[in-house]
Amino acid sequence: MSNAALPCQVVFLDAGTLPCPLPWSEHLDAPLLTRLDYMAHERSAPAEVPARVAQADILIVNKVRLSAELMDQAPRLRCICIAAAGTDNVDLQAARARGISVHNVPDYGSDSVAEHVVATLLALRRHLVDYSQAAVDGRWSASPHFCWHGPRIRPVAGTTMGIAGRGRIGQATARLVQGLGMRVLFAQRPGKPLADDERPLETLLAECDAVSLHVPLTPDTRGLIDARRLALMKPGAVLINTGRGALVEAPALVQALKAGQLAGAAIDVLDTEPPPPDHPLLSRDIPNLLLTPHSAWASEAAQQKLASRLAELVAAHMKGEA
C-alpha cells in the first residue's frame, strides 16, 4: 500500500484553545477525508504528550511545548502546525534537523488584536471602568449635578502612540490609531537603519503617550520592559501588552502603577498562562490596571480564520504540497 493511501494521523494536543471546529470538508476532498485520522484533545498535560504524539504524522499545537526529546518520540512526525502566530513553544532547530516542517499562522488575528489595543487604550484614557462603577454604585445618583466628575478624562487625538514591532499586528494597530488622530512612532528594528517614523526604544518610551508591544518573545526581548525602561516612560503614559507576557517584568510594572509612574496599563498576556492565583498582576489593589485573559486575538472572525488556515495547512501536507 502506498503512503498516499495510508491513514494520516493528525493530533491537536490543545484543541480547547480554539473553540471553533476545523472545517475539514472545505479543504479535503473525499479521498483525503477518508485518509484523515483526526484526534482532538481538549488539553494535554506534559505527562500525556509522549503517548499522544507517538503515532502522529501531523501535530497541531497552540501552547504545548515541543522539544527535541518529544520529537524523537514521534517517529512518523513530518509536520507541525502551530495554531498561533508565535513559534516560541516549538524547538525550530530540532524540527529542521529531523526534517519536520513547521508552519505557524501569522495573520489570522491582526485586526482582532489591533481592535483590542484601541479598545483598551480608550478605556484607560477615559477611565471607563471607573466611570461605569460610579454609575452603578450610587455616586452618580448622589451627585448634585447632571453628571459625575471623577478621574481626569484624557483624549487620544493629538497624542502619540509608540509601537514596538512592525509586523502585521503592529501595522494594523498603527492604521487604527491614526484614524483616531494619533501620531504613530515605531521602535527601531534591530540591525536596521533608523526610518523617519522610528525611534530607538528608549527615546520612544520617553516621547510617547501610549506604548503598545507587538514583538516576538526571544532571548533578546524577554524582560524588554523592565524597571529601568518603565522609569523612562513619559509621565501619564499607558502601556499595552498583547504580545507575550514575558516581554514585561510583572513586579516592576506593579510597582510603576502603584507609584503613579504610569497612568495605566492594559495587559492581555502573562508570563505563565493560565496564571497562578498569586501572580503579581492578579492582585486587586493595583490601580489603573486593565487585565484580560489572553483574549485579544479571539474575535469570532479570527477564530474561524485560524481554524480554516489550520485545515488548509494539513490538507497541503497530505497532498504533498507543504
Residue 127 designated active-site: no
| Nearest-angstrom CA–CA distance, 36 and 70 | 23
Residue 198 designated active-site: no
| Nearest-angstrom CA–CA distance, 238 and 221 | 20
For residue 137, count other CB atoms closer than 10 A to its CB. Answer: 10
Catalytic residue, from 42, 48, 273, 300: name it. 273
| Nearest-angstrom CA–CA distance, 101 and 108 | 20
Can you tell me whether residue 66 is helix, strand or coil? strand
| Nearest-angstrom CA–CA distance, 138 and 228 | 41
Residue 273 designated active-site: yes
Q: What are phi and psi of 18, to 5 degrees?
A: -125, 90
Q: Name 242's Cβ contacts closer than 8 Å, sequence gap at least 6.
A: 113, 116, 117, 169, 212, 213, 214, 268, 269, 296, 297
Catalytic residue, from 244, 309, 312, 317: name it. 244
| Nearest-angstrom CA–CA distance, 98 and 79 | 10
| Nearest-angstrom CA–CA distance, 125 and 85 | 29
Q: Are 41 and 15 in contact (CB under 8 A)?
A: yes
Residues annotated as part of the active site: 244, 273, 294
